[in-house]
Structure 1
Amino acid sequence: MTDEGIAMTHLISDLVAWLDASAFHLDTTADTAAAVLPKLADAGLFGLGVPVQWGGNGGHVADAVNAIAEVSAHSLTAGFVFWGHRTFIEYLLQSPNAALRETLLPDLLAGRRGGATGLSNAMKFLSGIEELSVQSQRSGTALQLDGYLPWVTNLPATGFDVALAVKGADGAPAFIAALTSDESGLERSPDLDLMAMRGSNTAALKIDGVRVGEDRVIHHNATEWLPKVRPAFLAMQSALSVGLARRGLAEATARLRNDRDILSEPVAALSAELTSTETALHEGLRGGRFIEHPASLFRLRIHLAEIAVQAVQFELSASGGRAYLSQPGAGFQRRLREAAFIPVVTPSLVQLKLALRVQELPAAVGATA
């Protein structure tokens, strides 16, 4: 894939203007949270990588990855909402449950309902990091679900659908289900008291006796299905880092003058590193390599997060003391808070490194045997 292909812009000028004007409020309050989904939907962003016959714009999921990066360069809160929503859409695209897809996609593509990926726990389960937090038991012809998800993004008050992994009943495999906000027994907490990104509609979900039937099952075997959707999940999540890194480096570059031109070389080097890492991400995603080799995707996700954090630090160094003043430094201060989020978004960098160690351990044992 060419660098020009990666750099393709998907954002219209009206959306860019709104994101720039709203970024501070999206970061610090929930006042404008309800506007994010409609704004992104009106720009046609949710249809990127969605087949035309299902109401989308066609193309590849890599197009959505780049669009999330572009949005995140202006507001990581909006990018985070975009990631959660588009990831849920991807689950439906890769589900054999055509009826569920046909029912939910129109409202999701139009931004009328939120789509939430509650599968962070499941991705950690797949890597052997933790057990599933939602259980099931048989109740007549349906299953009864109980559990708790402590952190789920894009749960608007106007209505949402959320994906979650469930431990199978009576020894059956773990499965993936989609719950609607209207379900009896599904309780959304108040918005979490976050340090930043408060406009992301992030809350906890309590699942108490929720009944689901076949019509709400995304896939019957989580262990079989999750490795197939994990590349899109993590690649779109990595786009948050890409967008923040692009913006931090652009801001740093704009301030390289006089006594700060000593930063020119390291900033240029980090920019080149970002481009090459992003290219590797897109090539691996388009080529399907990450399904059989998830460790390579984990490493790219970790590296892009590290680049994003370093890029924001370069912006600080290039800005000097003005970055510490409330008004001229407001944009940098928001990006600094956003950068603090990048390493801890689930799966966190620590969890990814642990997963890599677990994967690499058998090879190391074999080499020393």
Structure 2
Amino acid sequence: MSQELAEADAPTRSIADIVARDLRPLVRRIDEEGLYPEAVLRSLGDAGGFARHISRPEGDASGLVSAIEAMADVSASCITTGFCMWCQDALGWYLTQSENPTPRTRYLVAVASGEQLGGTGLSNAMKAFSGIEPLALKGRKVAGGYRVTGRLPFVSNVQDGHLFAAVFALEDEPDRRVMAVFHAGSDAVALARNAHFVALEGSATYTVLIRDAFVSDDDILSHDADRFIPRIRKGFVLLQAGMGIGAARGAAASMRGDGPGRKLAAHLPFGPDEIDARADRLAERIRALASDPQLTDRSAFLDVLKARLDLSWLALEAAQSAVLQAGARGYLVGAEAARRLRETQFVALVTPSVKHILAELSRG
């Protein structure tokens, strides 16, 4: 497996080259037309963008930091694509940590290379484990696996043929929860577009309707999600740092690139130098927190949530500063500053959202 991952990780192009030549020309279409950047994502996979955090020896957390940095490089130009990258990275993270070796053997190399795309699917589960909403999926044990039914309102980076993970409770043992890999795009696991967003329309976000779907024992990540979720949640949240850091740095770069606007905005309280300095300090915090991503104690997780909260505030403030510098030019349809502001609001809304984090921190 390690050799296969090393081969999948062999880059053919750099992340920077893919962003400059493939992604940036599509950013407006991704935002305005809801174009799903599938070709870009597959190129990022070819470049090793999804393998950085899963091809290292056990106990080596430097790959997690490298994955965050790659996501930041992408998110600086397009948060929609950076978010899809996070979805793919999160799926790979689950597979890496799987308590059952079969899903890891079956899917990990393809996910790491971008040959197999997929989503995270854990928004509902993370909220359910925090007591914010009930678990949406129910299952019952049958020969060779489980039968699962329910509805997940939002799963991203998922199309027919893609994978995603989800958690379901057992009907006859409601206190026992199971986490599994699901295959999207069948009558039993169907996708429906039930909502449209002000941004992130290109993220392939669908409602997933699960109707008595058979989930094989071979696709079970853990038969005890209550034990498994604490092992993966730190990495799940840390990986999102790539979106926040990238959003801030992208806003700072756009402000510097606007010479006349920068001169007139010299007295704004939050300029590009301050944005980059805060982003660098937060990146150092994330690097330290990533040193032991499998640490399961609550205090360590709360430290991660505090950093994630600070990243949300930084991204929002940076994007707002870019709009203030641009003035009326940044408030026009199609303006880059307006797009960044809408995208960055999503950084504060994606699970765990700002209100979710604040609720968790209030519990101590």
Q: What range describes the TM-score normalised by the shorter chain of this pair? A: 0.7 to 0.9
1:94 pairs, out of 78, 92, 97, with 97
1:195 pairs, out of 176, 195, 198, with 198
CA separation in 1, counterparts of 2:164 and 2:18?
29
Deviations 1:141-166, CA, capped at 9 Å, x for gaps = 53211111000001123x11110011
Pair 1:307 & 2:309 matched: no
Could you tell me which residue of structure 2 aligns to residue 337 of structure 1? 342
Q: In 2 relative to 1, CA 357–138 (structure 1 residues): closer, same or farther, beyond 3 Å? A: same
Q: In 2 relative to 1, CA 267–170 (structure 1 residues): closer, same or farther, beyond 3 Å? A: same
Q: Which amino acid aligns with 2:108?
A: L
Note if contact 1:34-1:156 (Cα within 8 Å) is conserved in structure 2.
no
Residue correspondences, number: 345
Q: How does 1:37-76 map to 2 (within 5 A)?
A: 37-51=41-55, 60-76=63-79
1:136 pairs, out of 126, 136, 139, with 139
Could you tell me which residue of structure 2 aligns to residue 104 of structure 1? 107
Could you tell me which residue of structure 1 aligns to residue 304 of structure 2? 297
Pair 1:273 & 2:278 matched: yes
2:362 pairs, out of 353, 357, 360, with 357
CA separation in 1, counterparts of 2:193 and 2:287?
37
Q: Which amino acid aligns with 2:253?
A: A
CA separation in 1, counterparts of 2:285 and 2:357?
18
Pair 1:225 & 2:228 matched: yes
Note if contact 2:18-2:40 (Cα within 8 Å) is conserved in structure 1.
no
SS in 2 for 1:347: coil
Q: In 2 relative to 1, CA 12–277 (structure 1 residues): closer, same or farther, beyond 3 Å? A: closer
The CA deviation at 1:128 is: 2.7
Pick which of 293-302 and 111-120 moved more. Answer: 111-120
Q: Which amino acid aligns with 2:149?
A: D
Q: In 2 relative to 1, CA 29–319 (structure 1 residues): closer, same or farther, beyond 3 Å? A: same
Q: Which amino acid aligns with 2:328?
A: G
2:253 pairs, out of 250, 253, 257, with 250
What TM-score, normalized by structure 2, do the two folds share? 0.87
CA separation in 1, counterparts of 2:240 and 2:251?
18
Note if contact 2:136-2:151 (Cα within 8 Å) is conserved in structure 1.
yes
Q: In 2 relative to 1, CA 52–283 (structure 1 residues): closer, same or farther, beyond 3 Å? A: closer
Q: How does 1:142-181 map to 2 (within 5 A)?
A: 142-157=145-160, 159-171=161-173, 173-181=176-184
SS in 2 for 1:51: coil
The CA deviation at 1:175 is: 1.3
Q: In 2 relative to 1, CA 210–258 (structure 1 residues): closer, same or farther, beyond 3 Å? A: closer
1:318 pairs, out of 305, 317, 325, with 325
**Gaps spanning 5+ residues in structure 1: where?**
1-9, 361-369
Flag the structure with higher helix content.
1
Could you tell me which residue of structure 1 aligns to residue 25 of structure 2? 21
Cα RMSD of the aligned pairs, angstroms, is: 2.4
Identity among equivalent positions (%) equals: 27
2:242 pairs, out of 211, 227, 239, with 239
What TM-score, normalized by structure 1, do the two folds share? 0.86
CA separation in 2, counterparts of 1:260 and 1:138?
63
CA separation in 2, counterparts of 1:213 and 1:71?
35
CA separation in 2, counterparts of 1:257 and 1:347?
34
Note if contact 1:137-1:170 (Cα within 8 Å) is conserved in structure 2.
yes
